[in-house]
Amino acid sequence: MRSIALPLTLIFASAALAAQTPANLVATLQKGGCVLVMRHVSSPREVPDAATANADNTTRERQLDAVGRASATAFGEALRRLHIPVGTVLSSPTYRAEETIRLAQLPAPALSPELGENGASMQAVTDAQAEWLRKKAAEFSAGTNTILVTHFPNITRAFPDNSKGIGDGEALVFGSDGKGGAMLIARVKIEEWPQLDR
């Protein structure tokens, strides 16, 4: 992988795509047919108490912090401003993943247990979940993009070679490899989306 220094730094994932620019990535996403596997945005590890829990966070799960709320909102605004079409959205059933999607104003997600943490604080991501995620990353829809919102352990177990150091809200962008599988096109940090057209 190679970093390309432009007004921002994106990581592109093959020699064939090493000359790609943010503008090229935007053009690719505008055509659709990509899958974004995204880590939910910034969320403290501590669960909120009665005074700090969001009104709809009735089960007192982890929720986004101020940075997470702002970055999720900016991500969604960037997608709309850049005319990047979003079709299917799949989410971990955790509150923080759903909150990421809600604040980005993405289409209503389908909740997928395979994207979740198994109620074990992310310590029990299985081989079956990793295989399911790899398969979903290769299911492309013509004319629109799919977004999967999940957790660090799910992503790193499914894509160990492509996800080292993946940050809060960072997305792996997959496109077709032309052989029925997926190839990593780029990694986009959450704060980079608003800059892609600059």
Of 39, 70, 105, whose CA–CA distance to 191 is shortest?
A: 70
Beta bridge partners, 4, equal 10
The whole-angstrom separation of Cα 139 and Cα 142 is 10
Question: Would you kindly state where each structural domain of the chain is located, as residue ranges?
Answer: 2-44+53-195
Asked if 198 contacts 176 with a C-beta cutoff of 8 angstroms, the reply is no
Helical segments of the chain, H only:
22-31, 66-81, 95-104, 127-136, 152-158
Q: pTM for the full model?
A: 0.88
Separation of alpha carbons 43 and 121, rounded Å: 13
Backbone angles phi, psi at 175, to 5 degrees: -130, 170
Architecture of domain 2-44+53-195: 3-Layer(aba) Sandwich (3.40)
Each residue's pLDDT expressed in tens, for the chain with a length of 198 residues: 333 333 344 555 444 444 468 899 999 999 999 999 999 999 988 888 888 878 887 888 888 899 999 999 999 999 999 999 999 999 999 989 999 999 999 999 999 999 998 765 556 789 999 999 999 999 999 999 999 999 999 999 999 999 999 999 999 999 999 999 999 999 999 999 999 976
